[in-house]
Amino acid sequence: MLLSKIKNYKKYFLFFILSIFISSLFIIGIDNREILNVKSDNNPNIIDISGFKKEKNGYLSTNKEAYVVIHNKAKYVKNITFSYKYSKDFTWSLEYKINGNKVICDYKNSYLLNKTVKNINSNVDDIKINIKNKNLYISNISIDNNFYIDYSKIIFIVILLNMIFLILNNKKYFYNNLDKLFLLMSISLCFSFIILLPKNVYLSFDDQIHFKNAINPIRTNGKMKLSYSEQIIINGNIYRDNDMISTKEEKNIFYDYINKVHKKTKNRIVYNSDQTALYNKFIYIPFYVGYRLGSIFNLNFTTCIIFSKFLNSLCYSFLFALAIKLSKKWKKIIFAIGLLPSNLYLASSFSYDPTIIASLTLASVLFFNIIKEDKINWKNLLGYVLLVIWGSLPKAIYCPLLLLLLFVNNNKFNNRKQAIKFKILIVMIVLTLMSTFVLPTISGSLQGDSRGGNTSVNGQIKFILSNPIEFTKIFLSFTYGNICDLFFGQGNIVFFAYILDKAIFDFVYIIYLIFLFYVIFKSEKNDDVKYKILYLVVIACIYCLICAAMYLSFTPVGFNTINGIQSRYFIPLLLLLLVSMVPKNNNKNDSIDNRVLILVPLISMIIVLTIISVKVI
């Protein structure tokens, strides 16, 4: 056990305290370096005002071109802030001069919040606040140069420093226990992601839908419990617009608001018309358990969101660690896939992809063990079946992976009868899983996804049947232009959906891609040509199914390409693909430098998390 190997607990405890002290000083110093000697001004001089009348302690706008000009005594302005009250969302603007150049910033504010904090971060003299709505009440205008302490950044640096310290002091142990090393790195990096990312949705693909399913997996009589805060998070109107909530201080005001409202409205019942099948909801169990635990301990709504994501990321980490532990070969390939920045991001979001990826990767490992054994181990076989079914419940498209079991030599079974009965059952499971989406498609009861535009499943089927050559050309042209990108593109390696432009991470993508190929070509040899071809055939079948599914449901009828295919659909197949690429002439043991194995994912994630901590509000 690791704990018995950590001989000097005092050392780790002291380092932990020191890391909190150092990271606090560092973050407070970095974030507040401009205002170290600058004071706030809670009562700035108003040098000009128009279109307002004095009311109570503030001002009420009397027309749509009201403005107030304040004079800044402190020279430097970090933030300007004021409280407000209005009946709906409104737009307004700030005007000021920096080095003689006029700056105008337009903003939008939600009527639900009652305070705005906007960054200026410059030396300015006078600031003009333009209000474009009548009957808008503003008060408490102030220049805010107070220290801002970003606790999420402090926690991130503390986790990072302690993780690195633990690894450096137990290198030999971790080199021999790659699964424990993976567990430590994955949990630390996922938790850092969760802490640094905003506590809302619309960060990852369809996460608003996953969040809704995660907090209420079971609905009865067309009704469900939904607090107003949960509704606000799912709808996203307030925070998706960057003009509405544009500073971290405003984000904290938003969090305070939704935490307060959630406590008052958490027993609210609403109508719900969702028809998602129950078996598609099982995959949300970790999210639901985390969210419920937070509620039981009466934690804030935003803390419940963190708990919910954290529990799911724990499941991802444990499944991958188990895959590394159980695998007899290619542990380092699994390690590299598990720590892909894209995977860690998905594991830190409301998404069922990480569970699918981890389950199918573990299933692939069990399959590698099955074909290497002389006699079948029933636990490996049943485990493989259950894991593929689990990973296929939300996306039945992966069920052809079960067909790999048909190619297990009958001699490995106790007798031929057992082998045949088992394989017949496997075919029946695959047919049943495929029927869940093929039959509704054929019967015409499946509708197209309106997000893809003018879609129609029936219309598309008619087009394909009446233009088979045209469809084949469309499919081949799409494959030729996209296949490399879908498996080895940035979408699989360093892609964070909606939070930042992926071009920022081009450098990390190139480094990690080279690292992946390094791991493949330095791994233990794979001289089993028959199974290499088999893996590629299964991957090709699943690829065709995904293309067919997206052409039918997400692409306008007769369109000349296939819409909606994302690289993340192929991450569960990555282990099979990379193992097929391992050369047969390699050595029996891998020649991968353990320092490279740890450093590349670690440095990649440090760069990613640092950029996110600075750029994402």
Partner 1 sequence: MSNKIINIILIILVFLTIFFPLKKDTSTSFESKNVSFIPDLKYGDVLIQEFVATDNFDKFGFEFANFNKIIKKGYLKVEVTSGNKLKKLNVKVDELNDNSFIYFKYKIKKGNKYSIRISNKVKEPITLITTNAVVKNANLSINSEKKNYNLFMSFTNESANYNFTWYLLIVICVFNCYNILRRN
Residue 414 touches partner 1, criterion: CB under 8 A: yes
Residue 238 touches partner 1, criterion: CB under 8 A: yes
CB of 417 to partner 1, least distance (A): 7
Residue among 112 and 371 whose Cβ is closer to partner 1? 112
Tell me the H-state helices in 339-404: 341-347, 353-372, 378-392
Residues 335-374 contacting partner 1, CB under 8 A: none
**Cβ atoms of 320 and 182 closer than 8 Å:** yes
Residue among 385 and 494 whose Cβ is closer to partner 1? 385
**Cβ atoms of 452 and 556 closer than 8 Å:** yes
Residue among 170 and 231 whose Cβ is closer to partner 1? 231
With 0-12 CB in 10 A as exposed, 13-18 as middle and 19+ as buried, what is 282? middle
CB of 509 to partner 1, least distance (A): 36
- Element at 197 (helix H, strand E): none
Distances (CA, A) of 406 to 327, 411, 423, 438, 537: 21, 12, 6, 22, 13
> What are the residues facing 146 on neighbouring strands?
none
DSSP for 548-564? HHHHHHHS-TT-SS---
Distances (CA, A) of 472 to 238, 376, 465, 469: 44, 41, 11, 5
CB of 299 to partner 1, least distance (A): 22
- Element at 521 (helix H, strand E): helix 506-521
Residue 260 touches partner 1, criterion: CB under 8 A: no
> Contact letters (x/-) for partner 1, 375-394, by CB under 8 A?
-x-x--xx--xx--x-----
> Contact letters (x/-) for partner 1, 95-124, by CB under 8 A?
---------------xxx------------
Q: Out of 421, 584, 595, 615, name the contact with partner 1 by CB under 8 A.
A: 421
Q: Out of 231, 458, 566, 594, name the contact with partner 1 by CB under 8 A.
A: 231
Residue 68 gets the label, from left (phi > 0), alpha (psi -120 to 50) or beta, of beta
CB of 273 to partner 1, least distance (A): 6
Q: Out of 31, 89, 150, 528, name the contact with partner 1 by CB under 8 A.
A: 89
Q: Out of 64, 268, 328, 473, name the contact with partner 1 by CB under 8 A.
A: 268
Q: Out of 15, 175, 228, 318, name the contact with partner 1 by CB under 8 A.
A: 228
How far apart are the C-alpha atoms of 81 and 44, rounded to whole Å?
11
Bridge-based pairing of strands 101-109 and 66-71 is unpaired
Residue 27 touches partner 1, criterion: CB under 8 A: no
CB of 86 to partner 1, least distance (A): 12
> What are the residues facing 271 on neighbouring strands?
223
**Binding segment toward partner 1, per CB under 8 A, in 129-137, 264-272, 328-336, 340-348:** 264-272
CB of 379 to partner 1, least distance (A): 9
Q: What are phi and psi of 116, to 5 degrees?
A: -125, 145
Q: Out of 123, 146, 252, 272, name the contact with partner 1 by CB under 8 A.
A: 272
How far apart are the C-alpha atoms of 522 and 514, rounded to whole Å?
12
Closest residue by Cα to residue 494 from 322, 342, 314: 342
**Cβ atoms of 61 and 133 closer than 8 Å:** yes
How far apart are the C-alpha atoms of 89 and 416, rounded to whole Å?
72
**Cβ atoms of 218 and 276 closer than 8 Å:** no
CB of 87 to partner 1, least distance (A): 9
CB of 395 to partner 1, least distance (A): 14
CB of 585 to partner 1, least distance (A): 36
Which positions lie near partner 1, rule CB under 8 A? 88-89, 110-112, 223, 226, 228, 231-232, 235, 237-238, 261, 265, 268-273, 275, 277-279, 376, 378, 381-382, 385-386, 389, 413-415, 417-418, 421-422, 425-426, 428-429, 432-433, 435-436, 445, 447, 450
